[in-house]
């Protein structure tokens, strides 16, 4: 295999905690140099296949974390709506 994964970087949004993106750099063993950063397909984005870098367990963990953050956001929205409804009922 001439090219192997050399660096993998994942970024989350520091304000929301949502997965923002990822990139990978490959090292070319023949030319003995690293390549340019390539986007990685995470959180439904297109790009370098995540499975080519990580094991199924690691890939599943990133996907599960993203799904958990989305579920948390939905629960927070429902909680906020309930709070607003209760506040409106108390005023009425």
User: What pTM, to 2 d.p., does this model score?
Assistant: 0.44
**What mean pLDDT do residues 8-12 have?**
82
pLDDT tens track for 35-91 = 888 887 776 666 666 666 677 667 778 788 888 888 999 999 999 999 999 988 887
pLDDT at 46: 66
**Is residue 28 a contact partner of residue 75, using CB atoms and an 8 Å limit?**
no
CA 21 to chain centre: 6
**What mean pLDDT do residues 26-39 have?**
82
Range of the domain at 30: 3-91
Q: How far apart are CA 89 and CA 1, in angstroms?
A: 66
Structural domains counted in the chain: 1
């Amino acid at each position: 295999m001439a090219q192997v994964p050399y660096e993998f970087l994942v970024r989350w949004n520091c304000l929301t905690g949502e997965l923002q993106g990822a990139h990978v750099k490959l090292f070319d063993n023949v030319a003995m140099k690293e390549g340019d950063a390539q986007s990685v397909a995470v959180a439904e984005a297109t790009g370098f296949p995540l499975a080519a870098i990580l094991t199924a367990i690691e890939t599943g963990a990133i996907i599960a974390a993203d799904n958990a953050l989305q579920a948390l956001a939905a629960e927070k929205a429902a909680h906020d709506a309930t709070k607003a409804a209760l506040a409106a009922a108390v005023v009425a």
